[in-house]
Structure formats: C-alpha cells, structure tokens
Structure 1
Amino acid sequence: MDIVLIAGMWLDATAWKDVLPALAELGHRPVALTLPGQGDGDTTATYADQVAAVTAAVDAAAGPALVVGHSAACALAWVAADARPTKVARVALIGGMPNADGETYFGAFEPVDGVVPFPGWGTFEGPDSDDMPTELKAAVAHGAIAVPAAITHGVVQLSDERRYDVPVTMVCPEFTPDQAKEWVKTGEIPELAKARRVDYVDIDSGHWPMYTKPVELARILADCTRT
C-alpha cells in the first residue's frame, strides 16, 4: 500500500529516513513529504499550500492510501480524509490529534519576525524527549525549519462527514492509549469522538518515534494497512 508520511512542525521528509526502508522491506510504498514552507525554501508558503501538497500526494497514490500525520501534522492527515474520503484507507496519528473545523492549525507558539522557530528542547523536557540522546537532540535542532506564520495561522476547514467513516489509528508515544481514550470520551478530541472506528496502539517512545523507534514504528504502520 502507498503510505503518505507527514512530519510535524519544524521537520521535513528527512525525519522519516529510518522509517522508509523498514516500510519498504515490509512491502509498502512509503512517500515522505517535504511540505511547502517546511524544507523547500519557500518562505511565502501558506497553510493552504500544505493542504494542497498533502491531497496531491493522496491523489498520486496507486489506490487508497494510509495517511500518517505526526504531531501538528495530524491535522493535515485528517484534512486529507475530509478532502479525499474514498482515497484514504486509514489515518494514523502519531503523538497528535486532528483539529476541529474553524480552529487555527498551530497556535502553540507566537511567530517571531513572521516565522515560528523551533523553541528549543527546554519546551519538551520530560516524556516528550527523554528517550532522545543529546547528540540526536542537537542534530534535530540543527536541522529544524522555522515555519512561516502564514502556515501556523491557517484555519482548518472540514466539510465532508464521510471522513468519520475513515478508520483511525492513534499511535500513542509520550501518552498512553488509556489517556487518549479518556480525551476522546470527555470531548477533548471532538473529531475522533465522531469517528466510527478509532484504534489505539502504544509505542514506548517519546514524541518523535521516527527517530528513536523507527523499525517499531514502521511495523505499527504496516499493521495499519491490514484492516
């Protein structure tokens, strides 16, 4: 199956470099995206440009694809299910949740000079990054891409309720499946509360398992293609 991989904030396609060969060995066709404004050098890119890039990747798939979002990009994966409900076989959400219609794409940090730079590892102390060696943190921070505010301030638009028929797998890294289920139950993730099938998978990692547990993550994603 074609697997579209969308990394979260400050990352480009290279974030998946250790996941790609593991997925290929398992018989899949992974496609890691470098989003507009997030690694391609386009400082004028908008949120709409990123949405267009994701839907184009889904359209280019040979058949219904698994669309994988990481962190903030879980919103983009869910938007793909809304835009192409018959072309998305399943959505896998790694360490994040889909935004609701009308919400700001990524409002966690205020822009500085028109971009949102990586805020440093102090922001992610604890379970998010405890599994990352110092050298890995340094390498990721060095390659981090400041994201244009026109992307982070974009407004999520959802319109096709057929997205709720698309199966979802929540891959739970720094939080547990039980925590995620509780968030859905209490209405903290309204989009998933309406989804007709949501599965939960634990992975013993921090927020960036593509770096620290790439082979295990690949196996989890491969399992997502079977149901």
Structure 2
Amino acid sequence: MDIILVPGFWLDASSWSAVTPPLEEAGHRVRPLTLPGLESADAPRAEVTLRDHIDAVVAEIDASDGPVVLVGHSGGGAIIYGAIDARPGRVVRGIYVDSGPLADGACINDELPAAAGEVPLPDWSVFEEEDLVDLDDRLRAEFRARAIPQPQHVASDKQQLSDDVRRLQVPATVVACEFSSEMLRGLMEQGHPYVAELARLTDVEFVDLPTGHWPQFTKPAELGAVLLAAVDRD
C-alpha cells in the first residue's frame, strides 16, 4: 500500500522519521511529503496557497500505481481532505492525526500571528496546555530548531470542495490525542461546528492515543503502530 504522510504546520517530511519504521517493515511504500514553501527557512512562500498544498498531494496520488492511504497531521488533515475530494476513487482511507476534515468554505486557522506572508512558529504560550502534553523541554527545543515558517495563505485560505457525495464515503480513522474519542463523539452528537464535517462522513473510526498535539514527537512508536493497524484494515 502507498501511504502518503502530510505534516502539519511548520514541519517537513522529516517530522515523520520516527513514525515510519513499522510501516516500512510491514512492506508498505511510505511517502512523507515536504509541501511547497516548507523546503527550507529561506524558501519563497508568500504566494503559496492552500490549493497548492492540496495539488501537491493530488500529484502524489496520481503518481501512485494503485489506491493510497492519506495521513494528515493537524492542518494536514484539511489538506488530505481536499485531496480526497479531488480523487475519492483513489483513496481507500484518510487518517487524521489529531485533526479532521475541513468543510467547504472554512479555513484552517486565520488567527495565527503572521507577517510578510508567513506564519512563524509562535511562542509556546500561544498554545493550549492540552496541545503541549508530553512535549518536554528537549522536544520543544528540537521542534523549534526544525520549524519552518508556514505559508500564510495555507492557514487563511478557504477550503474549496466539489464532490459532495464520494468524498464523504471514503473511510476515515481519527487518531484522538488531545481530545479523546469520547469527547469528539459528544461534540458530534451536539452538532458542534468543530466536527460538523467529520459528522457527515459515512465510515469513521476513532483510536485514542492520549498525548499532546504532536504525537509524532511525543509518542512516535505508538503512532506508528496505530497507523499500521489502520492501514492493515484496508
């Protein structure tokens, strides 16, 4: 199986390096992506859009010989959902790591501090305590050293979707980290807008992995095992 790994904000393909070994050992073709504008701290990114990131994932799907699994962390969940909308017949599962599908007309996060067309990694005080669970001082320092500014348009552009039937039928796995599956199901039952698009999907499973927002750093082996189990169901 081809597994395409899409990082969240401020991260490139290398952020998945501690997660991929069990997937590779099982014989899967693992393809972590570095999205446009995230190639280096000096890469041009002011004009990079959300559609550019979605198109980069779609190009990887088109380069595959068969069906694929898409994995998206954080803001990467919105990106893989846009790619699923574009290629619903090619994706056998979308896996959302502490993230979820982003509805048509919504944006990922237009409240992050931005300047000159980019969003630097903010001070840790900007994040909620739940985000930072298990992210100790060493991991925070390593994260900040590797962080690359995020293109501002990717954070603020509105999602544009077109296939309002088939994308909803692609099976989904939600890896619940800072918010438990019980909490997410409760929000879905209440009709909360945060999970409105997730509630529309016809085939959703939840897997709890209690930690903060960056399990690829705080619990990489456990995340690798969760991803492998989800992929093997397909």
TM-score after normalising by structure 1? 0.94
| Structure 2 counterpart of 1:108, from 91, 111, 120 | 111
After superposition, give the CA deviation of every residue in 1:13-44 in whole Å (9 maximum; x if it has no partner): 11101112221012211110000012352323
Contact 2:134 2:212 in 1 (8 A): yes
Which residue is equivalent to 1:33? 33
CA apart distance, 1:105: 3.3
Which residue is equivalent to 1:4? 4
Which residue is equivalent to 1:76? 79
| Runs of 5+ unmatched residues, structure 1 | none
| Runs of 5+ unmatched residues, structure 2 | none
| Structure 2 counterpart of 1:58, from 35, 52, 61 | 61
Aligned residue type for 2:176: C
CA separation in 2, counterparts of 1:37 and 1:118?
A: 14
CA RMSD of aligned residues (A): 1.5
Aligned residue type for 1:17: S
CA apart distance, 1:9: 0.7
Instruction: Give the 3-state SS of the residue equivalent to 1:128 in structure 2.
Output: helix
Contact 1:120 1:141 in 2 (8 A): no
CA separation in 1, counterparts of 2:11 and 2:120?
A: 11
CA separation in 1, counterparts of 2:120 and 2:189?
A: 34
After TM superposition, list the pairs within 5 Å mapping 1:1-227 onto structure 2: 1-40=1-40, 41-43=43-45, 44-160=47-163, 161-187=165-191, 188=193, 189-225=195-231, 226-227=233-234
After superposition, give the CA deviation of every residue in 1:125-161 in whole Å (9 maximum; x if it has no partner): 5222220221110110122111222222222111112
CA separation in 1, counterparts of 2:69 and 2:160?
A: 21
Contact 1:37 1:46 in 2 (8 A): no
* Bigger shift: residues 208-217 or 86-95: 208-217
CA separation in 1, counterparts of 2:153 and 2:5?
A: 22
Kindly, what percent of the aligned residue pairs are identical? 40
CA separation in 2, counterparts of 1:137 and 1:22?
A: 25
User: Moved runs in structure 1, 4+ residues, more than 6 A?
Assistant: none
CA separation in 2, counterparts of 1:66 and 1:11?
A: 20
CA apart distance, 1:75: 0.5
CA separation in 2, counterparts of 1:87 and 1:104?
A: 25
Contact 1:107 1:153 in 2 (8 A): yes
Aligned length: 227
Aligned residue type for 1:42: P
CA separation in 1, counterparts of 2:82 and 2:188?
A: 18
Contact 2:50 2:154 in 1 (8 A): yes
